[in-house]
C-alpha cells in the first residue's frame, strides 16, 4: 500500500471507525501551561472577536446546536477527556479529536457551556495528551482507546508499537489547535508545547505529507498521503504551524471530469496506479470554506462539486449530498462519492469494493451546502431532508438517509455532529471563515 487514505474501517464488528491516528503525547504540562477555570476567565476579553456574531442563530438553529453538542456530552470519556468517534464505542482518531475541539470551541461561543466547563474539558483533554504513547516516540498512533488512552488497532485491541500515523489527521488537529490558541490565547503556550514535543517534521518531506504504517517486521514505512481535496486541507493545517507543505497545497496533478453535466476536479492518481482512492466528496470542500475560506480556485471547484450533485438530482429526482460516512450496517464505513477511480457516483470501501445500494444523503454534507449557499432552492431541499434526523433521545444527529431504501442511517458520530456545530458557528459569525476571525483575534 503506497498511500494512507483519510478514513479507514475501525472495526468490522461495530462501526468502522474512521481515519488514521488519534491523540498524542507531550511532556506533562507545568502549572504555568495549565490555565484553570479561575485564571482563564480573566482572558475572555482578549478573544471577544470569536464571539462577535453577525447573524445569531434562530431558535431552531439553537436547538440543532444543542442536539449536536449532546453527542459530545454523551461520548466524552471522563478519565481522558477524549471523545468516541461513534456512539458509546471507546475508540477514536486524531481527526475525531479535532472534531471535538472544534465542537468545544463552537459550544463555548454559542453559549452551550460556560467558561468554567470549557476550561475543565480542555484542561483534561490537553493533560491526557501528555500521557499517550507515540509511534516510535515521534507521532500519534492512528487510533486510540478513548477511555484508557492506549494505542490500539482498528479492532480496538491494544498494541505496544502502534499501527502508524496519519498526516491528514495531524493536519486536522493542527488546524483545531490553531483555532483554540487564537480564540483562547491563554492556552497558546500549552498547545505550542504539545506540537513542539511531537516530531511533526517526520510527516513532511519536500513539501508533501507522509503517513506511516508499521510493517510485519516492525519497520516503519512512510508513504505519501493525501489526494485532491483532503490533501490541500491538511496541508493548510501544517502551514499554520510553520511546516512547509507547499507541494501538498498544489492542485496538480488534477484533471476535470464531467459528472452529471458539470466538470469537477479529480486527482489523476487513482486506485489502480497508487493503491489509493481518488474519491471526490463534499466534506473537504465544506471544511475549507468554513475554516479557511475559499480562494478563487477552490470557489470554482467547490461550486462545481455542489452543482454536479444538483445535476444528478435534476437527472434522477434523487436528492444527492454525498460524502464519506459511517453507516449502521456492514461494511460500517463507506465513501459515497461524486467520482472515484474512473466511476461517477461510486460508493466504495477503503479497498475500492462497490456498495452502490448503500448510497446515503449525508446529514453533514446537507448542512454544509445549505449554510454555504442558503439562497439556493436545491440546498433548501437538502436541509429540509435532514434537519429532523435526530436521535429521539436527544443524543445527536444521525448520519443520513439511505437513498435506495429511504431509511435513516441511524449511526451517531462525532464527525457528523462536530461538523454541524462548526457550520452553525460559521453561520453565527456571518458566514465568515473561522480562521479569519482567529486572525482578527491575533491582531
d(CA 3, CA 261): 31
Which SS3 state, helix, strand or coil, does residue 308 take?
Answer: helix
- What pLDDT is recorded for position 441? 53
Residue 3 lies in a domain: no
Q: What percent of the chain has pLDDT over 70?
A: 87
Tens-digit pLDDT profile for residues 167-211:
999 999 999 999 999 999 999 999 999 999 999 999 999 999 999
What is the pTM assigned to this prediction?
A: 0.89
Residue-wise pLDDT tens digits, 244-302: 999 988 888 879 999 999 999 998 877 766 677 789 999 999 999 999 999 999 899 99
Per the structure, the count of domains in the chain is 1
Rg (CA), the chain: 20
Distance CA 307, CA 349 (A): 25
- Provide φ and ψ at 169, rounded to 5°: -65, -40
Q: Would residue 15 count as lying in a domain?
A: no
Classified as helix, coil or strand, 321 is coil
List the grid coordinates of 384. 429540509
Write the CATH number for 271.
Answer: 1.50.10.140
Lowest mean pLDDT among 29-33, 121-125, 214-218, 343-347: 29-33
Nearest to 175 by CA among 20, 292, 286: 292
pLDDT band, very low/low/confident/very high, at 1 (cuts 50, 70, 90): very low
Q: Within a domain: residue 20? A: no
Residue 45's pLDDT band, with cuts at 50, 70 and 90, is: very low
% of residues, the chain, pLDDT over 90: 79
Burial label for 149, CB within 10 Å (0-12, 13-18, 19+), is: buried
Q: Is residue 203 part of a domain?
A: yes
Enumerate residues 6+ apart whose C-beta is below 8 A from 270.
277, 278, 341, 342
Closest by alpha carbon to 74, among 85, 91, 93, 87? Answer: 87
Cβ(34)–Cβ(129) below 8 Å = no
Q: What is the mean pLDDT of residues 408-434?
A: 98
Residue 43 has pLDDT above 90, yes or no: no
Average pLDDT over the chain reads: 88
Each residue's pLDDT tens digit, 72-115: 999 999 999 999 999 999 999 999 999 999 999 999 999 999 99
Q: Please, are residues 20 and 91 in contact by the beta-carbon 8 Å criterion?
A: no
Residue 4 lies in a domain: no
Q: Is residue 41 part of a domain?
A: yes
Which structural domain range is residue 145 located in?
31-442
Q: Is residue 19 part of a domain?
A: no
Q: Is the dihedral of CA 31, 32, 35, 38 positive or negative?
A: positive
> What integer pLDDT is reported at residue 226 of this predicted model?
82
3-state secondary structure 162-181: CCEECHHHHHHHHHHHHHHH
**55-67, pLDDT tens digit by residue?**
999 999 999 999 9
What's the pLDDT at 278? 83
Whether the ω angle into residue 324 lies within 30 degrees of 0, i.e. cis, is no
Instruction: Kindly state the helix (H) or strand (E) to which residue 64 belongs, with its residue range.
Output: helix 59-75
Cα–Cα distance for residue pair 113/110, rounded to 1 Å: 8
CA distance readout (Å), 256 to 220, 251, 267, 280, 304: 35, 11, 9, 12, 10
Task: Say if 256 falls within a structural domain.
Answer: yes
Amino acid at each position: 500500500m503506497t498511500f494512507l487514505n483519510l478514513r479507514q474501517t475501525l472495526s468490522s464488528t461495530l462501526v468502522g471507525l474512521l481515519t488514521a491516528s488519534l491523540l498524542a503525547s507531550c511532556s506533562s504540562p507545568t502549572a504555568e501551561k495549565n490555565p484553570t477555570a479561575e485564571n482563564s476567565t480573566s482572558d475572555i476579553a482578549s478573544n471577544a472577536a470569536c464571539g462577535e456574531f453577525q447573524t445569531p442563530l434562530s431558535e431552531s438553529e439553537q436547538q440543532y446546536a444543542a442536539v449536536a453538542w449532546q453527542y459530545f456530552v454523551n461520548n466524552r470519556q471522563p478519565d481522558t477527556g477524549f471523545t468516541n468517534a461513534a456512539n458509546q464505542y471507546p475508540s477514536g482518531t486524531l481527526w475525531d479529536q479535532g472534531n471535538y475541539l472544534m465542537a468545544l470551541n463552537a459550544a463555548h461561543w454559542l453559549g452551550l457551556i460556560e467558561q468554567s466547563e470549557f476550561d475543565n474539558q480542555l484542561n483534561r483533554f490537553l493533560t491526557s495528551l501528555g500521557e499517550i504513547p507515540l509511534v516510535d516516540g515521534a507521532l500519534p498512533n492512528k487510533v486510540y482507546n478513548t477511555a484508557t488512552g492506549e494505542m490500539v488497532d482498528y479492532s480496538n485491541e491494544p498494541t505496544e508499537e502502534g499501527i502508524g500515523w496519519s498526516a491528514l489527521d495531524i493536519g486536522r488537529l493542527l488546524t483545531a489547535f490553531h483555532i483554540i490558541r487564537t480564540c483562547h490565547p491563554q492556552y497558546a503556550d500549552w498547545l505550542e508545547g504539545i506540537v513542539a514535543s511531537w516530531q511533526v517534521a517526520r510527516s513532511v518531506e519536500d513539501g508533501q505529507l507522509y503517513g506511516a504504517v508499521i510493517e510485519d517486521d516492525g519497520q516503519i514505512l512512510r508513504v505519501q498521503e493525501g489526494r485532491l481535496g483532503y490533501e490541500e486541507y491538511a496541508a493548510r493545517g501544517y502551514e499554520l504551524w510553520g511546516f512547509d507543505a507547499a507541494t501538498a497545497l498544489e492542485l496538480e496533478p488534477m484533471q476535470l471530469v464531467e459528472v452529471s453535466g458539470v466538470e469537477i476536479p479529480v486527482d489523476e492518481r487513482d486506485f489502480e496506479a497508487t493503491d489509493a482512492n481518488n474519491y471526490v466528496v463534499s466534506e473537504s470542500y465544506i471544511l475549507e470554506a468554513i475554516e479557511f475560506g475559499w480562494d478563487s480556485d477552490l470557489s470554482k471547484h467547490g461550486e462545481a462539486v455542489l452543482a454536479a450533485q444538483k445535476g444528478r438530482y435534476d437527472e434522477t429526482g434523487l436528492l444527492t449530498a454525498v460524502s464519506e460516512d459511517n453507516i449502521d450496517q456492514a461494511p460500517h464505513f463507506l465513501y459515497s462519492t461524486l467520482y472515484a477511480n474512473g466511476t461517477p457516483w461510486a460508493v466504495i470501501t477503503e479497498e475500492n469494493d462497490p456498495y452502490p445500494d448503500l448510497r446515503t444523503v449525508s446529514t453533514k454534507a446537507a448542512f454544509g451546502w445549505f449554510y454555504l449557499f442558503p439562497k439556493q432552492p436545491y440546498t433548501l431541499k437538502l436541509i429540509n431532508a435532514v434537519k429532523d434526523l435526530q436521535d429521539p433521545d436527544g443524543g445527536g444527529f444521525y448520519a443520513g438517509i439511505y437513498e435506495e431504501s429511504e431509511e435513516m442511517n441511524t449511526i451517531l458520530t462525532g464527525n457528523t455532529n462536530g461538523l454541524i456545530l462548526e457550520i452553525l458557528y460559521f453561520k453565527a459569525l456571518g458566514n465568515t471563515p473561522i480562521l479569519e476571525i482567529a486572525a482578527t483575534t491575533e491582531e
